[in-house]
């Protein structure tokens, strides 16, 4: 008997997972990536003559929960039309029975890869972070909490655009309660089919997870849960790693629950105290101590970039002088140059 090596088996598995596009408007181009419950492929939309990304359910789903979750994700994306949220174009079921949705095909890199390869300046990274916050703030305004914000779920486009991806764990709230989101298509439309999120179930990515999320306290999750994750992303952009790390997910969760995030300036003294204070406020252990919204966090970072005072940091008189000098550097240099020239002229006249 001849045994197949691992590479051949892997190839056969990938071929078996390829979506059946027979009779659809799509033609297979290549594979883009994989997630926990699905695969993403580049396909050609023959009707519109463009490439799109096709997300297809792959994991076994005997109970239909994952299928309902994918339908739910597509419906959430459909309501979030924003420049920094990937737009959805189509949703349905393939001839092989699998659920799919088609979205814009992004040409770019994940945020973590972009940071490692591009090595952007600090202002450039902060301006990109503001775009991420604006997308999340827009979602919150429409009653959607992402619940899994992390660098791997942000794409940086070829022209510097930031797109928040993977809304599979998103929660929709309305009038203070979780709102049912229609599930899969049946006769007469999309009936309620939301995947229930149970109290005590931990959802998300540990290194970017708020303490209340790590406890599985689902009922208390709100916009400030995403603010914490945004603070962890800001920490990552400044430090190159998340605030909490560990050998296992359980170890990271334990640290999130019992410890304060390490100070940024303890690792890198070049990071301004103001940025450290903004990050600390976003990463506060108690939700009520954080920024109330992603918009507030974006505004704070914007004020820092503009050389204005921020709410998270109490300035000393020296801080005020330093900030004003930095903000008005050109004027200060011109005045100093003028004074130096006057001194030179006075010395020359006195000879």
Per DSSP, the residues of 58-91 read: -S--TTSHHHHHHHHHHHHHHH---TTBPPEEEE
The sign of the torsion formed by the CA atoms of 130, 132, 136, 139 equals positive
| 148 tagged catalytic | yes
- CA pair distance 150, 204, nearest whole angstrom: 9
CA distance 325 to 229: 33
User: Is the separation of the CB atoms in 100 and 92 below 8 Å?
Assistant: yes
For 245, list phi and psi in degrees, rounded to 5.
-135, 165
Residue 317 exposed, middle or buried by CB count within 10 Å (0-12, 13-18, 19+) = exposed
Residue 276, classed as helix, strand or coil, is helix
- Annotated catalytic residue within 112, 148, 166, 226: 148
Q: Is 299 helix (H, G, I), strand (E, B) or coil?
A: helix
Q: Tell me how far the alpha carbon of residue 206 is from its chain's centroid.
A: 14
271 class by beta-carbon count within 10 Å (0-12 exposed, 13-18 middle, 19+ buried)? middle
The tally of CA atoms less than 13 A away on the side-chain side of residue 265 is 12
Which residues are part of the catalytic machinery?
A: 148
């Amino acid at each position: 008997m001849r045994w197949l090596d691992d590479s051949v088996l892997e190839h056969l598995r990938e071929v078996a997972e390829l979506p059946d596009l027979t009779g659809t408007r799509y033609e297979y181009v290549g594979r883009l990536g994989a997630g926990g419950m699905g695969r993403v492929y580049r396909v050609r939309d023959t009707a519109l003559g463009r490439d799109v990304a096709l997300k297809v359910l792959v994991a076994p789903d005997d109970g239909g929960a994952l299928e309902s979750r994918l339908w739910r994700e597509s419906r959430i994306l459909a309501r979030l039309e924003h420049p920094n949220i990937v737009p959805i174009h189509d949703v349905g079921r393939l001839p092989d029975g699998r659920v799919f949705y088609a979205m814009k095909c992004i040409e770019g890199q994940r945020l973590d890869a972009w940071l490692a390869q591009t090595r952007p300046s600090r202002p450039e990274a902060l301006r990109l972070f503001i775009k991420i916050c604006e997308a999340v703030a827009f979602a919150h305004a429409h009653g959607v909490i992402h619940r899994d914000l992390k660098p791997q779920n942000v794409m940086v486009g070829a022209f510097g655009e930031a797109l928040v991806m993977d809304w599979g764990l998103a929660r929709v709230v309305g009038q203070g309660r979780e709102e049912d989101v229609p599930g899969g298509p049946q006769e007469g439309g999309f009936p309620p089919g939301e995947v229930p999120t149970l109290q005590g179930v931990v959802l998300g990515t540990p290194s970017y997870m708020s303490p209340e999320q790590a406890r599985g306290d689902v009922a208390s999750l709100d916009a400030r849960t995403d603010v914490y994750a945004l603070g962890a992303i800001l920490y990552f952009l400044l430090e190159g790693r998340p605030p909490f790390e560990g050998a296992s997910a359980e170890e990271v969760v334990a640290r999130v629950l019992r410890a304060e995030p390490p100070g940024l300036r303890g690792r890198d003294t070049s990071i301004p105290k103001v940025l450290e204070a903004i990050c600390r406020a976003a990463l506060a252990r108690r939700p009520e101590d954080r920024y109330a919204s992603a918009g507030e966090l974006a505004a704070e970072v914007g004020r820092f970039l503009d050389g204005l005072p921020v709410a998270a940091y109490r300035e000393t008189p020296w801080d005020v002088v330093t900030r004003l000098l930095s903000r008005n550097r050109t004027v200060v240099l011109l005045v100093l140059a003028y004074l130096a020239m006057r001194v030179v002229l006075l010395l020359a006249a006195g000879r």
